[in-house]
Amino acid sequence: MYQHLPVYAGDPILSLHEAFMADPRPNKVSLSIGLYFDEQGRLPVLDSVRQADKKLREQERPSGYLPIEGAPDYRAAVQKLVFGADSAAVAEGRIATIQGVGGSGAIRIGADFIKSFMPGSDVWVSDPTWDNHESLMQGAGLKVARYPYYDADSNGLRYDEMLAFFARLPAGSVVLMQPCCHNPTGIDLSKAQWSGVIQVMKDGGLVPFLDMAYQGFGEGIEEDAWAVRAMVEAGLCPLVTNSFSKNFSLYGERCGGLSVVCPSADEADRVLGQLKAGIRRVYSSPPLHGERLVAAVLDTPALHQQWVAEVKDMRERIKRMRVLLAERLTAGLPGMSVDFLTEQHGMFSYTGLTSDEVDTLREKHGIYLVRSGRMCVAGLNEGNVQAVADALIVVLRARS
């Protein structure tokens, strides 16, 4: 009956994580999937979340269905965090926000919305982008293609080319960008560069789709949302997805959001209605426990403050690991520039390693990176960074 089905090749990120979990070597290092590990190599349970969880469990609240669009307090908290406490668009009721089943689920609901209500709009993603962006959009039946982004020669951004490319896109094109901590490259735009993008998007009638999965892991919780807020202030109407997987260390709870900024409150009501219709036919309503945790932390001033400090600790640890790895590599490979490591932002670094070199790292040294050369810097710690640097030095020396 199913003989004609092609064999699934596996997901480029999740399959590697499965292989890592099955790897019996005690000194293996996970630098593939985007998980933040602490100094002891564990997934942290944030203290703010632990306290909120304890309180919620004491309350023994029943587990009824949430509204299709998610819980009102959670959705309000998403809006505040993404668009800012003093956002005029939020105050004017111009933003339709739904709880997403993780960032991925939110993107898919956004993609379905584009497919239904923006006929003829193609989606443009950065070259390269997170592997699943293309799959999620294509899964909704959208046509997806890439715009110039990463410059392998300089390990930087092809900014002028990207801007010129945007200027040639037909009005109504959807352009997916990441406001902070670009996955997979770690290369973000400066504020001046974002301003240039905003102007070109306004001039050309483009629709920004902003995927923010790492808010707080770049420069700060407020700082990382700068591009989102600047676009809204400039009069653009972006679709914005966000995720609490990383910044709450709540990967398995699948907590995210999709917010569609609209020209008017009336349009936001219509959009929200159609998002609800879209959700109802996919998963009916979202899960409960994770959103309760997130809303409890964000709505309780003391816990919120503690969470901000915990995100800061994670961000600063990642930055320290970038510096440490760069120092160790420079010591072993004098003359080779690894400045990109400390210039990139967030969890990921595009190392420039080839897929063969990545395979060698995995097979010979038990060090897992994504085959594109993407390294999750948040998997490094003081205990494994020297071993990772040593293995990288061996692999890089073999080049010459």
Q: Which residues bind ligand LMR (CB under 6 A)?
A: 13, 33-34, 130, 132, 183
Residues annotated as catalytic are 130, 211, 246
Nearest 10 degrees: Cα torsion 286, 292, 298, 304: -140
- Considering the complex, state which of residue 256 and residue 366 has its C-beta at the smaller distance from ligand LMR: 256
- Token readout for 70 is 């998610």
In the complex, which residue's CB is closest to ligand LMR?
34
Please report how close the Cβ of residue 248 comes to ligand LMR at its closest, in angstroms: 14
- Considering the complex, state which of residue 121 and residue 351 has its C-beta at the smaller distance from ligand LMR: 351
- Considering the complex, state which of residue 84 and residue 216 has its C-beta at the smaller distance from ligand LMR: 216
CA dist., res. 125 & res. 145, Å (int): 6
Please report how close the Cβ of residue 5 comes to ligand LMR at its closest, in angstroms: 24
Please report how close the Cβ of residue 19 comes to ligand LMR at its closest, in angstroms: 14
Cis-peptide into 128, omega within 30 deg: yes
- Considering the complex, state which of residue 103 and residue 238 has its C-beta at the smaller distance from ligand LMR: 103
Please report how close the Cβ of residue 45 comes to ligand LMR at its closest, in angstroms: 19
CA dist., res. 138 & res. 135, Å (int): 5
- Considering the complex, state which of residue 16 and residue 396 has its C-beta at the smaller distance from ligand LMR: 16
- Considering the complex, state which of residue 11 and residue 327 has its C-beta at the smaller distance from ligand LMR: 11
Q: What is the 3-state secondary structure (H, E, C) of 144-210?
A: EEEEECEECCCCEECHHHHHHHHHHCCCCCEEEECCCCCCCCCCCCCHHHHHHHHHHHHHHCCEEEE
Please report how close the Cβ of residue 328 comes to ligand LMR at its closest, in angstroms: 24
Please report how close the Cβ of residue 242 comes to ligand LMR at its closest, in angstroms: 13
Please report how close the Cβ of residue 244 comes to ligand LMR at its closest, in angstroms: 13
CA dist., res. 220 & res. 224, Å (int): 6
Concatenated DSSP letters of 261-300: E-SSHHHHHHHHHHHHHHHHTTTSS--SHHHHHHHHHHHS
- Considering the complex, state which of residue 20 and residue 166 has its C-beta at the smaller distance from ligand LMR: 20
Query: Which of these, 266, 196, 257, lies nearest to 231 by C-alpha position?
Result: 196
CA dist., res. 234 & res. 240, Å (int): 15
- Considering the complex, state which of residue 52 and residue 367 has its C-beta at the smaller distance from ligand LMR: 367
Strand partners, 256: 100, 243
CA atoms lying within 13 Å on the CB side of residue 217: 33
Q: What are phi and psi of 61, to 5 degrees?
A: -75, 140
Is 241 in contact with 256 (CB distance < 8 Å)? yes
- Token readout for 2 is 């199913």
Query: Which of these, 357, 326, 356, 367, lies nearest to 30 by C-alpha position?
Result: 367
Helices and strands (H and E) in the chain: how many? 16, 13
Please report how close the Cβ of residue 102 comes to ligand LMR at its closest, in angstroms: 8
Burial of 213 (0-12, 13-18, 19+ CB in 10 A): buried
Is 97 in contact with 275 (CB distance < 8 Å)? no
| 181 DSSP 8-state letter | S
How many residues are recorded in the chain?
Answer: 400
Other Cβ atoms closer than 10 A to 282: 11
